[in-house]
Amino acid sequence: MCGIVGYIGNKEALPFLINGLKKLEYRGYDSAGFCIQHDGKLSVVKRKGKVKELENASKSLKITGHMGIAHTRWATHGAPNEANAHPHLDCKGAIAIVHNGIIENYGALKEMLKKEGHRFFSETDTEVLAHLIEKFKGKNLESAVAMALKLVEGTFGLLVIDKTSQEIIAAKKGSPLLLGIGSQEIIIASDASAIAGHTKKVVYLNDSEMAIISSNNYVVKNVNGKVVEKKIHDMEMTVQQIEKRGFKHFMAKEIFEQPLAIENTLRGRIGDGRIKLSIDVDVKKVKRIIITACGTSWHSALIGKYLIEKIIGIQVEVDYASEFRYRNPIIKKGDLVVAISQSGETADTLAALKEAKQKGAKTLGVVNVVGSTVAREVDFGIYLHAGPEIGVASTKAFTCQVTALLLFALYLQQQKGVLDKKILEELKKIPAKIEEILKESKNIRILAQKFKASKNFLYLGRGLNFPVALEGALKLKEISYIHAEGYPAAEMKHGPIALIDEHMPVVFIAPKDDTYQKIISNMQEIKARGGTVIAIINENEPYIAALTNHVIKVPKTLDILSPLLNVIPLQLLAYHIADLKGLNVDKPRNLAKSVTVE
């Protein structure tokens, strides 16, 4: 969840570190710091708050040096303050470390180190690593880091420097790290966005690998100290993709990018009326599909269940990754486990994937970030190609995940010889239909103005649009801090209806599909109890006006594709409410973009 960047090369390190941290800030943003080595000294600067504070502090200090490490933090151990911000140092201030992940046995290690006379300055688990490395610092930094890591239980992506060595040591286990290979310089980062614009050549570290990096060379070793040959990959990400391009927030940009993002998910995969995916899944061998994910990705998994069961008739189970991994799941021959993750680094999803692999399941990833850990761990993958998603609240990844799941369902249909070309043809029209809905943004902002002071919201939908209700509620609560719940509309009468009064706005997702009449009855129940109804509809029946306070009309499409349209007004409503409340839309409190801790 934190962001890490390191630089070693023939230029000044500080601008690289600050720019890298700005790119990574979406991953964690309660404090930041850097350490630069120069003239046999380490200069450390840390600040609570945003990277901007750190940048301002560094301006007057005139720190020079050609190698350094930096970090933006999302607190796990200890409050977000300067003492707990990274980098952390050993007792003598001779070793500096930045770390992403969690050292699970840090309590025991800290006790041991204290008894040996080490002095601690923070409440973090990371500081333990600095002292452990100090404990083993004999001849060189590389062996000290390797020895220290042997004692560590937990996860880490880390960078270490000391006062004198002309190298950065990087190590990874359960937390991403990649090297950007430039000419006479190497940038190391937890996320490609800190490397984009500097070089396209990247090397991904795998778990239990360690890299010894100098300005024009790097050596990667495995846990036994053996040199590992690494492939250099071409990075897809460009600088333009990670800029706001005139939008006030990344979230707004990403909402408006959805037509293009979906086109990119479809590109090259639906030509000449056939589905082309680079996966090798045999529909005859798949008896059951288990989809595992977290948060918004879990909502797209629920839609995946509805649509795969509906159009292929293969049984699908959906599990929160965090639950799947701990309940000793039953995996049988013929099970395919699908992991959905925008970042490809979510700790719970990765652990669920490992559990599934250990039990012998075939695995498929639906992932956005190219080269991410989920993408590398699965047997086959479908990349979203949605481009970087920077806003913490997931938007374009969601619609692209649903699109990718549809492609997968159609791919299975095609193998059975029953490809439904109507779905394929309509899928191509979805980007233009989303453009239509985006034109409603101004009107949705007017609606948002009316509801920004609400304390609670309910979102109701049925069938494929029940997960859309969940997603609408999640978007609202995470960025506007308004309490919101999503329910299958029919569940209202089993309890939540007790909450309805004139202060309760209820958002209905009510396209004209086979659940329409039922949802109209549910609307009547809410109206009769004084609730305020906002309805997302695709047909304006004469009686709708009497049942609703506000309607947002979306274009018609096939029932099976309707979540792709219905979610857009909900994203916009959440966005405008949060923005009108003056909140930090892209970086909501307590959240981080990729949740790499349990």
CB-nearest residue to ligand F6R? 295
Please select the residue that binds ligand F6R; options are 295, 304, 431, 531, rule is CB under 6 A: 295
Member of 275, 294, 507, 568 binding ligand F6R (CB under 6 A)? 294
Interface pick for ligand F6R out of 175, 190, 349, 548 (rule CB under 6 A): 349
257 Cβ contact list (under 8 Å, min separation 6): 386, 387, 396
> In the range 161-180, which residues lie near ligand F6R by CB under 6 A?
none
Please tell me whether residue 372 binds ligand F6R under the rule CB under 6 A.
Answer: no
Q: Alpha-carbon distance 346 to 354, whole Å?
A: 12
Q: Which of 81, 28, 147, 176 is nearest to 590 (CA)?
A: 28
Judged by CB under 6 A, does residue 414 bind ligand F6R?
Answer: no
Nearer to ligand F6R, 520 or 570 (CB): 570
Minimum CB separation from ligand F6R for residue 190, in Å?
Answer: 14
Shortest CB 398 distance to ligand F6R, Å: 8
What does DSSP assign to residue 241? G
Which of the residues 46, 200, 305, 593 is marked catalytic? 593
478 part of the interface to ligand F6R, by CB under 6 A: yes
Beta strands 550-553; 178-181: pairing state: unpaired
List the 380-383 sheet strands across, edge first.
315-320, 288-293, 335-341, 362-367, 380-383
Binding of ligand F6R at residue 342 (CB under 6 A)? yes
Structure tokens given for 106: 């840090």
Q: Residue 378 has what DSSP assignment?
A: S
Which of 11-19, 170-178, 341-349, 484-492 is the region at the interface with ligand F6R (rule: CB under 6 A)?
Answer: 341-349
- Does 294 qualify as catalytic in the annotation? no
Provide DSSP, 439-491.
TTHHHHHHHHHHHTT-SEEEEEE-GGGHHHHHHHHHHHHHHH--EEEEEEGGG
Catalytic, out of 2, 35, 294, 400: 2
Interaction between residue 403 and ligand F6R (CB under 6 A)? no
User: Between residues 255 and 536, which has the closer beta carbon with respect to ligand F6R?
Assistant: 255
Please, how many CA atoms are within 13 Å of residue 523, restricted to the half-sphere of its CB? Answer: 27
Tell me the window of 144-152, 166-174, 294-302, 416-424 that interacts with ligand F6R (CB under 6 A). Answer: 294-302
Closest CA to 539 of 517, 568, 572: 517
DSSP state of 216: T
Any contact of residue 322 with ligand F6R (CB under 6 A)? no
1 is an interface residue for ligand F6R by CB under 6 A: no
DSSP-assigned beta bridge partners for residue 162: 95
**Interface pick for ligand F6R out of 58, 155, 297, 414 (rule CB under 6 A):** 297
Asked if 595 touches ligand F6R (CB under 6 A), the answer is yes
Of 107-115, 126-134, 291-299, 307-315, the segment contacting ligand F6R by CB under 6 A is 291-299
My answer on whether omega of the bond before 87 falls inside 30° of 0, hence cis, is yes
Minimum gap (Å) between residue 308 Cβ and ligand F6R: 19
**Which residue type, as a one-letter code, is found at position 275?**
I
3-state SS, residue 136: coil
Measured from the CB atom, the residue of 67 and 318 that comes closer to ligand F6R is: 318
d(CA 97, CA 129): 8
For the question of residue 2 being annotated catalytic, the response is: yes
HSE value, Cβ hemisphere, 13 Å, CA-based, for 548: 20
Closer to ligand F6R by CB, 270 or 294: give it: 294
Single out the residue of 122, 126, 296, 413 in contact with ligand F6R (rule: CB under 6 A). Answer: 296
Q: Is 594 in the site for ligand F6R (CB under 6 A)?
A: yes
Alpha helices of 171-279 — where are they, by DSSP H?
A: 250-256, 258-266
Interface with ligand F6R by CB under 6 A: which range of 229-237, 306-314, 335-343, 559-567?
335-343
Beta strands in 235-331 (DSSP E): 288-293, 315-320
Residues that bind ligand F6R (CB under 6 A): 294-297, 341-343, 346, 349, 393-394, 474, 478, 594-595
Which are the catalytic amino acids? 2, 593
